[in-house]
Amino acid sequence: MSEPLVSRELIGRQSDEVLVEIERGGIRKFAEAVGDTTEACLRGDVAPPTFPTTIRIPIPGLTIDLARVLHGGQEYRFERPIRAGDRLRCRTRLQDVFQREGRLGAMTFFILELEGRSEDGEPVFTGRSTVIVR
Amino acid sequence: MTDTATTRMDTRELAVGSALPELRKDAITKLQLVKYAGASGDYNLIHTDDETARRVGLDGVIAHGMLSMAFLGQYLCWLTGPESIRRLTVRFGEMVRPGDVLTCRGRVKALVDEAGGRRLTLELWAENQRAQQVTTGDAEVVIG
């Protein structure tokens, strides 16, 4: 088995907390691109459930070569929907890194967690991405 | 179209195994991929530039996996309304290309009555025009 692309010592590393303002125009543009006809989303009031994908916060020291990346899976959990005007305190964390032998040879799996809280610290959503580097 | 559940699903008539109504999306276009790249912030050129896609061994651009997940997100909103969604989990199985027509389908996996309403676990998938499931997963919704 070849060397993992990233040391397991990076597990637990996280980004700074970023304050993300959820904008009506951003929600509308996203819903329009998807062709989502949900009225509350087209009006820009309520974010579609996959809208947190627009929140991209890099983790210092972790760079992934886009040309070799596959998105294996994705999860979002919600305490409540995200709405226009929300100011969310967000952070990305590298939850796990492991290597597996697949049909295409050794692949490195990154499990990245994105967490969003209200300004009061109440949990709003979490995202969990499985990113595979071949 | 409304955001309420009652127009799409009468939860009183649902049981474990019940099939959900299907939502057929328009064919994916290259323009949609450009729009989605801009709206989502995923600028990986394998989704918008054929030359880049060929350089990594693809025939041409492929859709963002997250676009097919967004279709399933729309499907959930259409079925039960955006306020009801507690979780959406997917696995990306097959590649999706411009011209593909995806249809969202699903069935009820579990159904529990709670204090806040009825919690449904739904099995969901998006399949292409060749009936291949491209993106598969499940979701939890609570309907008051």
Q: Which of residues 5-44 of B touch A (CB under 8 A)?
A: 25-26, 32, 35-36, 38-42, 44
How do residues B19-37 score in pLDDT, each as one tens digit?
Answer: 999 999 999 999 999 999 9
The residue among A32, A75, A86 with the most chain B CBs within 10 A of its CB, best to mutate, is A75
- CATH class for the domain made up of A8-22+57-133: alpha beta
CB contact under 8 A, A78 and B86: yes
How do residues B80-113 score in pLDDT, each as one tens digit?
Answer: 999 999 999 999 999 999 999 999 999 999 999 9
The residue among A41, A57, A76 with the most chain B CBs within 10 A of its CB, best to mutate, is A76
Residue A5: pLDDT above 60?
A: no
Q: What is the pTM of this model?
A: 0.94
Average pLDDT, chain B: 93
- Top-confidence residue, A105 or B10: A105
HEC assignment per residue over chain B: CCCCHHHCCCHHHCCCCCECCCEECCCCCHHHHHHHHHHHCCCCHHHCCHHHHHHCCCCCCCCCHHHHHHHHHHHHHHHHCHHHEEEEEEEECCCCCCCCCCEEEEEEEEEEEECCEEEEEEEEEEECCCCCEEEEEEEEEEEC
Torsion of CA B102, B104, B105, B110, to 10 degrees: 140
Nearest to A33 among B39, B83, B90 (CB): B39
CA–CA gap between residue A116 and residue B111 (Å, rounded):
28
Distances (CA, A) of A5 to A13, A65, B84: 16, 11, 40
How do residues A57-105 score in pLDDT, each as one tens digit?
Answer: 999 988 877 778 899 999 999 999 999 999 999 999 999 999 998 777 8
In chain B, where the domains are located = 15-28+63-143
CA–CA gap between residue A117 and residue B14 (Å, rounded):
34
The alpha carbon of residue B60 is apart from the nearest alpha carbon of chain A, in Å, by 14
How do residues B48-63 score in pLDDT, each as one tens digit?
Answer: 999 999 998 999 999 9
Shortest CA distance from B26: residue in chain A: A35
The identity of residue A4, as a single letter, is P
Q: How many CB atoms lie within 10 A of CB A64?
A: 17
pLDDT at A49 (0 to 100): 98
Confidence label for B3 from pLDDT (cuts 50, 70 and 90): very low
Nearest partner of A35 among A45, A48, A19, judged by Cα: A48
CB contact under 8 A, B35 and A75: no
The residue among B2, B8, B30, B36 with the most chain A CBs within 10 A of its CB, best to mutate, is B36
Q: What is the ipTM of this complex?
A: 0.93
Query: Which CATH number is associated with domain B15-28+63-143?
Result: 3.10.129.10
pLDDT at A7 (0 to 100): 75
Residue A35: pLDDT above 60?
A: yes
